[in-house]
Chain A
Amino acid sequence: MIIDALQLLFTPWNMLFITLGVGAGILVGALPGLTATMAIALLVPFTFSMNAVHSLVLLGGIYSGAIYGGSFSAILINTPGTPSAIATTFDGYAMARKGESYAAIITATIASVIGGLIGVFFLIFLAPPLSRAALKFGPPEFFWLTVFGLTIIATLASKSILKGLIGGAFGLLLSVIGIAPIEGSVRYSFGSISMQNGIALIPAMIGLFCIPEVIGMIAKKDTHYNVIPYKREKKLIRRIFFRLMKKPFLLIRSAVIGTVVGIIPGAGGNIAGMVAYNEAVRVSKFPKRFGTGIIDGVAASEASNNAEVSGSLIPMLTLGIPGAPPAAVLLGALLLQGLRPGPYLFTSHGEITYSFLFSLILANILILPLGLISGKAMSKLITGIPVTILAPFVFLLSVIGSFAINNNMADVYIMLIFGIIGFIGRKAGFSAGPIVLGLILGSICEQGLVQSILMGRAKGSAIGVFFQRPISIVMIILTVVSAFWPLIVKIKNNWRHKVEKG
C-alpha cells in the first residue's frame, strides 16, 4: 500500500500542485489577516472537480505554507501573518531591528522544515494512540491547560511581570465579551449585534501588533524601516543551519509540544508557539537573552507551529475531530471527495490517505527553497521601501486583513480600537503579547471552568472533578512548576554559588 501511495504521489501534476500550494500558502500567510483557514476554505470549491489526491496535496501544501508564511510579517513588520506566528515576533522582529531579518527568516525556514517533518513522523506512525489520548481531554483538563498557558505571561511580559499580568487579565476580560457559552447571557455588547459574537482574535491581534508599529515607524526620524538595513552575508544559510543543528533538543522539544497541542481540539498553533517559546526560555541557560533577538526564540516558535499542522490532522484523520480550524476545513474537503475519517481511511482508502501524508513531507521540504528565495526578496523589499510608503501600506494591509475575515466592517473598527489601545499601552509599558494570550485562552478557560463546575454539581464533588483526574493532576504540577520556575532557578543559582565558594 505504501509503494502504491508513493507511485500515486510522484506524478508531475502532484508535484506541481504541492509547489503551487506551498507557494500560495506562503503568500497568504505572509499577509496579515489572511489565514490558512481562509486560504483552504477559498480553494475547497475549486478542488471539488479535481481527483482526491490532487485536491488533498494542494490543500495540505497551502496549510503548511501558510503557517510558515506567517513568520515573514512577524519578523519583518512585527505583525504575525497568522496567529500561529505570535511568538515568532518576540525574537524575530528583534533580530530584524538589528539588521538580521534574513538570518531570522533562514532560522524560521529551517526550524519550520524540521518541526514540520517531526510532526509528519508523529502523524504517520503514532496517529491512533495519540488521538485516543486527546479524547481524554475534558472540561477540567482544558481549564488546567489554559491556567498552565497563562503562566507563560511571565515570559511574555518583557519589562514588568506585574504589567504582563495586568495585560493578561485585561485579555481575559475582553474574551468574555459576547454571548456566554453557558446560560447565554449577552455580555458587554453595548447594544451592538456584531459585538454579540465577541471580539475576533485576528483583528484584535492586527490592531495590537501592527498599528503601534506603524505609528512607531512614523514617529521615528529614520527614512527606512529598520535602523540597520538588510546585510548581505556569505554562507549565512550554512552558518545558521549548523547553529541550529547544535540545538537538537530545542527543535525536537518544540516540535513535540506543537504536535501535542495540535492534537488537542481547540488549542491551535498560536498556543503551541507560545508554549514552545516559554519552554525554550525556561530551559535555556541564558533566559534573559530571549526577546533581544536570538535564533533560539524564532526556532522554538516556528518548529512548534509547523509541527502543529500535522498534530491537528491526527484527530481529524483518525476520529473526524479537527484539531485546529484549518483542519476543520480540510475535513470538509476530505468529505467532499467521499473520504470518511476513521480507521477505514487508512485501510480502504489507504493509497490516497498515505499519498496525502507523504505529500506533507514534500510540502515541508519545499518550504526550504521557496521560503529562502521569497524570504530574501521580502527582507530586501521591506527594508528598502521608504517609511513614507511602507507605513500607510501596512495600514492598508491591516484594513484588508481585518475586513476579509468575515467581510465585516465591524472587524476593521475592532482593529482600529485595539490599535489605539496597543499604541497607548506600549507607551505606558504594557506589551501586546499577554493581552493576546488572555484573549486566546479566555474563552477556552471559561468554558472549561463552567462546564467543570456543572460536572462537579452532577457528581456531587467539584474537588474531585478539578483535582483528581490524572491529566488534570499532571497539568496542575506543570502549572505550579512553570509559575514558580523563576524562583526555582534563583534558589538553584544561589546554591551553586555557595557550592563554588566552598
Chain B
Amino acid sequence: MNPALSVIFFTTLSGAGYGLLVWTAIGAWLQQPARGLLVSLLLALVLVSAGLLSSLAHLGQPQRAWRALSQWRTSWLSREGVAALVTYVPALCLAAALLPAMIAADARTSVVALGAAGVTCAIVLVVAALATVACTAMIYASLKPIPAWRHRLVLPVYVLFALVCGGLLALSVTAPTGPGRLPALLVAGVGAMALAACKWRYWRALDTTPLSPTRGDAVGLPMREVALFERPITEGNYITREMAFVLARKHARRLRALALVLIAGVPVACLLLGWAVAPLLATACGAAALSALAGALVERWLFFAEARHLVTLYY
C-alpha cells in the first residue's frame, strides 16, 4: 500500500497524543504535581490536533471532512472521527480542573485532589483516548483485501505504540521523583520491549504467510496457472500507485531492524541512564520519547508499504 505521509503523521502523532492523554489522566488520579500534568495535557492536545489536521491533507475534499462523522454505525473511520472529537471534552474539562492549582504560587509541587467529577472525567478521558486509537487500528484491521492487516496483533500494536510513546513523553515532562520513579520507569521499559516483541511476531507472520488467493482465484479460474501477459495500460494508474508499492519490501529487513532499535533499544538504554543518573531523568526520557516516535514513523511507514493488497493479483 502507498504509505501516504499525511496518514503516517496522523497515526503516529495523534497516537502518541492519545497515549499521553491516558497517562495524564492516570497521573491526575494518582495526584501528581499540577504543572507537569497541565503541560503534558496541553502537549497531548497539540499532538492530537496536529495529527488530525495532518489527516485532512490526505483527503481529496478536506472541506467536507465534517461529513465523516455521520456513518459511525458501519464505518470505523467515522467512529474514529467521532471518538477523536469526543475525547476533547474530558481533556478540556480536566485541563480546567488543573488550571487553578497551576496558577497557584507553588505550582511546581502543588497537587489537585480530584473530586468525584474529576475522577469521572479522568476515567472518561482514558476510555475515549484508548477507543480512538482502537478505532484507528480497526480501520486497517477490518480490511479483508489486505491480509497483512488482518493479523490479530495489529490492534494491540497500535494501542501499545500510543501508550509507549505517550508514556515516555509523560515521563520527560513530569520527571517523577520519589517512590513513584522506579515503577514508572519499569512500566515504560517493559512496555517498549513488549511492543518490540509484538512487532517481531507480526513481521515473522508476515514473512511466513503467503498471499492466500492466487491469480487464478482472482480471475475465476482457480484450476489454472495464470501469468501476466499485458496490463491494461503500460503506465501506472491509481490502483498501481495506491495498492502496489514495492520499494519497502526490498529494504524491509534493514528498516525493521532500525525500527526495533528505535522503539526498544534506544528507549530502554535511555531509561536505564535516567534511573542511574537522577538529574538526567527528564532529558533521558525526552530522548527515549523522540527515539520511540521516530521508530513509530519507520514502523508505520513499513506497516503501509509492506502490506500487499489483493488487487495486485490482477497486475
> A and B bound?
no
B-to-A contact residues, CB < 8 Å: none
A-to-B contact residues, CB < 8 Å: none
